[in-house]
Chain A
Amino acid sequence: MIKSIGIRALIVLVVCLAALFYLTPSLLSDSLPAFWKKNLPADKIHLGLDLQGGMHLVLEVQTDKALEGTIERISNDIKETMMEKKIRFRSIARTHTDAITLEFPDHPAREAFEKILKDNYPDFEATSTTQREGREIVQIKLKVKRAQEIKKLAMEQGLETIRNRVDQFGITEPEIIPQGEDRIIVQLPGIRDPGRAKNLIGKTALLEFKLLDEEHSLEEAMRGNIPEGSVVAYGTRLDPESGRRTQVPYLVKNKALMTGASLETAKVSIGDRFGEPYVSLKFNAQGAQDFDRITGENVKKRLAIVLDGVIHSAPVIQERISGGNAQITGNFTLDEAKDLAIVLRAGALPAPVTILEERTVGPSLGQDSIDKGLWSTIVGGLLVVLFMMVYYKLSGLVANFALLLNIIIIFGALAAFRATLTLPGIAGIVLVIGMAVDANVLIFERIREEMRTGKTPRAAIDAGYGKAFLTILDSNVTTLIAALFLFGFGTGPVKGFAVTLTIGIIASMFTAIFVTRIVFDYFVWNRKIQSISI
């Protein structure tokens, strides 16, 4: 224990000034001159989404789907290679998330295939071979390590894509954090239109150009006789009179001639005639070449523009389109067109995402919560202060002074550590106010006991602080253990509670033991008082 009252008082002063230093931006918002602003910390106390309003999303990237997509592509690739090399096979299809099953009419065909597999697809291994009536069935599986790589890559790309989209949407201080193997936490403070943001983030945005299957009849396909290599997909049509959107079926070919990966950029344009918004696309060099070739080969055919499986339009290709420009029209509102351009620019998600959890708080509710939190802090604080003064008289005043310091230190520490203040966090502060005086109660009760045994004030204070210290330490450490587990397992607002509780308990040990002792020692040593008002 440091003997000198002066040095101890200096320590307290430094701690207080440090706390106030970090608090200045929160207390004096914009009124500071530039010189001050430069030298003071710039961060105000960071408010949680439940206090400032905003949206918290937990997304899951369906990495299995990315894997399935990859396997599907490889399966097609193998099929083409076998056809090229004239290897006879009866069927080939993806039968699991990570496995392909092939059927060969005879043994030589299988052996030819296995050579290709070894040479061209080293990531695969044959897991089972069965023979049935002379035919041979082979199942090949992607190696586990490679499958994990694909999933990891999908997660990384997903994170990057969502980050891009949110950045382009224009939200200040968004937070996009990966969690675990396949989850992404997105926090958007102060968002005005949560529905739109959700749409923008969650859209896969897979843009595909596919030919309509005009050789077969749509009616026949609707009845269930879907021709090989085609599929029925839907688009919407806006009825200009009723304003209703109706679903329109199309028969499209499975094979995508081009995808959004060939885009260089996308932007919103406004049509000349009716002022209707549409999205104009610009392809990159390779994309422009491809588009030129595709349109040249398919003049007079209909090319469907498909976004996430929904057909936006299916115009007839009038002539070869060179120059690498195209457009997506289709009854957009201006916001819809803007968002579509953003997701196309940011690129498609490598796998669909699902929203696992959403918590949105409107800004007005956040302000209400702040008001109520402050109000209950003030009421609770005043009640405790009043009680301590009545019960312990002047000593109670000392404890109250310590309590005030405690609150300043808590807020200062919140600002300094850039911790987030949440509504349960405010509740934590209120609780700490009630618990912080406990240390002083313990000490004061002990001093009273010692004085009853006839000790001098100085001896009673020494004994009181000395004996109470270990008790206070032990009892606070256990509370800290609880707070620690709260922090470790809690999420969002609950974590905020753990933070303020932890800071509060530590600060209260400092103020209730160290700070009050200085005051007592001063009066007992320097003023030589004969009795304690306790």
Chain B
Amino acid sequence: MEFIKPDINFDFVGKMKVALSISLVMIFISIASIAWHGGLNFGIDFAGGALVQVKFNTPFTIDKIRDSFRPLGIQNSIIQQYGPTEIVVRVAEGAADLKELSGKMEETLKKTFGQDAVEMRRVEMVGPKVGKDLTKKALLAILFSWIGMLIYIAWRFELRYAAGGILALVHDTIITIGAFSLLNKEFDLTIVAALLTIIGYSINDTIVVFDRIRENSRKNIRQPLAEVINNSINQTLSRTILTSFTVFIVLLALFFFGGPVIHDFAFALIVGVVVGTYSSIFIASPIVLIWERWMPDKIRRKP
């Protein structure tokens, strides 16, 4: 069985300008969306605050819950239905004394709905200090992973490859974050984990193409780089599509069956895998070519 015919010869490099424009537009939309929303919709990991997940064994309405919260001063918190029998309450930092909040909420809900009607499933409270720490750590993790890969690729290949690879990663990260901003999805620690995974996955994809470029350019020193790149992308296209496909189907399984905690995590990975596959083909290698045209490597070949 074959998805991609072996003799495929699509002109990827010729479509470079179109692809770069599409990417620039997507990056622009991402940044514009973040600016429009006034920043990302940070979860309590970063913004601080409390999240309480409650399961009900009796019928309930959000309004009744909200009413019962009035004495606690948290009636304006976000209360969302979470599956058929559960709710999630998000209390912003500073709205109430968060340390004892979960106990008071449990007491209040039990009083309103009955002793056995309520089960506290999950309580998360993050103080402002920790939120700041976590934000710093997340940013550093992403930044350092970029730098780490830059160094590794520059060592194993050449600096221009490293530049292409890293720019593709920055591209993937921005667009995935943009997708979260567009859908106003909550951005928390697991999403940062997803971003780092995307970074790892996308570069993995890119390297396979780079590796082939390296191999082909050694084989035929006289061939123009544009042609070498195009041939290499075509030769590895079957593998690129197949691997993305297998990863994609397991992510679908996670997305649909993994439960609500994993849901957004799987969503981020799905977006990232699609964008990462696209960038490996259309962004990373063309940047190597642009770099070459800018600062030609005179010893080896003419661009």
Interface residues of A (CB under 8 A from B): 50, 58, 60, 194-195, 198, 202, 354-362, 364-365, 368-369, 372-373, 375-377, 379-381, 383-384, 387-388, 390-393, 423-424, 427, 430-431, 433-435, 437-438, 441-442, 445, 448-449, 452, 467, 470-471, 474-486, 488-491, 493-494, 497-498, 501
**Interface stretch of the complex, out of B10-18, B63-71, B255-263:** B255-263
- Minimum-distance CB pairs A-B, first 10: A482-B200, A380-B253, A372-B259, A489-B141, A380-B250, A434-B250, A434-B247, A479-B200, A376-B257, A195-B103
A residues in contact with B125, CB < 8 Å: 355, 357-359
Interface-centre pick from A391, A475, A490 (highest chain B CB count, 10 A): A475
Known: A373-B259, A486-B193. A359 touches B239 (CB 8 A): no
Assembly CA distance A198 to B6 (angstroms): 64
Overall SS of chain A's interface: helix
B residues in contact with A431, CB < 8 Å: 197, 247, 250-251, 254, 269
B interface residues, how many (CB within 8 angstroms): 75
B residues in contact with A194, CB < 8 Å: 102, 120, 123
26 A-B residue contacts at CB 8 Å? A60-B129, A357-B130, A359-B125, A360-B123, A364-B55, A365-B53, A368-B259, A373-B259, A376-B254, A376-B259, A380-B249, A384-B246, A390-B1, A424-B193, A438-B243, A438-B246, A475-B204, A475-B205, A482-B145, A485-B145, A486-B141, A486-B193, A489-B140, A489-B144, A493-B190, A494-B190
Assembly CA distance A377 to B254 (angstroms): 8
**Interface stretch of the complex, out of B19-27, B32-40, B148-156, B281-289:** B148-156
Interface-centre pick from B6, B123, B134, B246 (highest chain A CB count, 10 A): B246
Taking a contact as CB atoms under 8 Å apart, the answer to whether B246 and A437 are in contact is yes
Closest partner residue, chain B, to A429 (CB atom): B250
Taking a contact as CB atoms under 8 Å apart, the answer to whether A361 and B122 are in contact is yes
Taking a contact as CB atoms under 8 Å apart, the answer to whether A483 and B141 are in contact is no
* B158, CB-defined interface residue at 8 Å: no
* B137, CB-defined interface residue at 8 Å: yes
B residues in contact with A365, CB < 8 Å: 53, 121-122
Taking a contact as CB atoms under 8 Å apart, the answer to whether B200 and A441 are in contact is no
B residues in contact with A445, CB < 8 Å: 236, 238-239, 242
* B199, CB-defined interface residue at 8 Å: yes
* B99, CB-defined interface residue at 8 Å: yes
> Shortest Cβ distance from B117 into chain A, in angstroms?
15
Known: A362-B119, A479-B203. A442 touches B250 (CB 8 A): no
Assembly CA distance A256 to B245 (angstroms): 72
A residues in contact with B259, CB < 8 Å: 368-369, 372-373, 376, 423
A residues in contact with B252, CB < 8 Å: 380, 383
Closest partner residue, chain A, to B259 (CB atom): A372
* B46, CB-defined interface residue at 8 Å: no
A residues in contact with B53, CB < 8 Å: 365
Partner of A387, one of B204, B238, B249: B249
Assembly CA distance A434 to B243 (angstroms): 8
B residues in contact with A498, CB < 8 Å: 193
A residues in contact with B127, CB < 8 Å: 354-357
> Shortest Cβ distance from A326 into chain B, in angstroms?
30
Assembly CA distance A435 to B205 (angstroms): 11
Interface residues of B (CB under 8 A from A): 1, 6, 53, 55, 99-100, 102-103, 106, 119-127, 129-130, 134, 137-138, 140-142, 144-145, 148-149, 152-153, 156, 189-190, 192-193, 196-197, 199-201, 203-205, 207-208, 211-212, 215, 235-236, 238-239, 242-243, 245-254, 256-259, 261-262, 265-266, 269
Taking a contact as CB atoms under 8 Å apart, the answer to whether A376 and B258 are in contact is yes
Taking a contact as CB atoms under 8 Å apart, the answer to whether B193 and A497 are in contact is yes
> Shortest Cβ distance from B206 into chain A, in angstroms?
8
Partner of B138, one of A442, A452, A476, A489: A489
Closest partner residue, chain B, to A482 (CB atom): B200
> Shortest Cβ distance from A356 into chain B, in angstroms?
4
Closest partner residue, chain A, to B144 (CB atom): A485
Taking a contact as CB atoms under 8 Å apart, the answer to whether B208 and A475 are in contact is yes
